[in-house]
């Protein structure tokens, strides 16, 4: 499968660089679990400009954005902006996982399990990418993966933020 090239606003590169230098504790904790191929050999970027937005973490092979939402994301105006931003990026084919910052800090193991579950489902649907298979790790993991059949969010209780001005609630796992 060929990677899709996504447009981005070059004016956001400097802001993304500053955000990478000033990550929150929850972002640092999740980045430690994602970087250097630690998440099932997939390469993740942090503070990645896409379109007119910057996502916290992005895997181009999976077209997966992962957002870590702090307390300000429960405010109505931020909640509405998040929903609009996510819809716009989903139109580009990007998938989203959202985690509450406290979940990342307090339960990184199950946050990682939820991400792994999402990846396993994506691989079952789309196949495993050649360069991931070539790394040889899949041969070691296949027996374990066969026993691991989660739904993507089965490990974390759901937290839902309601935005009164939107018809549907924005759900954050």
Strands (E), 17-52: 45-50
Would you say residue 157 has pLDDT above 50?
Answer: no
Strand partners, 160: 171
Q: How far apart are CA 146 and CA 137, in angstroms?
A: 14
Residue 82: band (very low, low, confident or very high) from pLDDT cuts 50, 70, 90:
confident
Q: How far apart are CA 75 and CA 83, in angstroms?
A: 12
Residue 74: band (very low, low, confident or very high) from pLDDT cuts 50, 70, 90:
low
| Per-residue pLDDT tens over the stretch 94-118 | 999 999 999 999 999 999 999 999 9
Q: Is 57 exposed, middle or buried (0-12, 13-18, 19+ CB in 10 A)?
A: buried
Quickly count: other Cβ atoms within 10 Å of residue 1's Cβ.
9
Q: How far apart are CA 39 and CA 41, in angstroms?
A: 5
Q: Give the three-state DSSP class for 154.
A: coil
Domains belonging to the chain, first-starting first, are 10-167 (3.40.960.10)
């Amino acid at each position: 499968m060929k990677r899709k090239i996504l447009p981005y606003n070059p004016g956001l590169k400097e802001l993304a660089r500053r955000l990478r230098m000033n990550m929150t504790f929850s972002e640092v904790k999740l980045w430690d679990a994602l970087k250097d191929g630690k998440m099932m050999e997939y390469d993740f970027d942090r503070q990645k400009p896409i379109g007119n937005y910057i996502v916290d973490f992005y895997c181009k092979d999976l077209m997966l954005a992962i957002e870590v939402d702090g307390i300000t994301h429960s405010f109505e105006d931020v909640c509405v902006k998040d929903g609009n931003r996510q819809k716009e990026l989903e139109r580009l084919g990007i998938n989203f996982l959202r985690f509450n910052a406290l979940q990342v800090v307090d339960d990184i193991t199950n946050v990682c399990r939820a991400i792994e579950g999402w990846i396993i489902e994506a691989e079952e649907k789309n196949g495993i990418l050649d360069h991931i298979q070539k790394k040889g790790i899949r041969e070691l993991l296949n027996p374990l993966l066969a026993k691991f059949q989660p739904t993507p969010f089965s490990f974390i209780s759901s937290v839902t933020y309601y935005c009164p001005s939107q018809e549907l609630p924005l759900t954050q796992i």
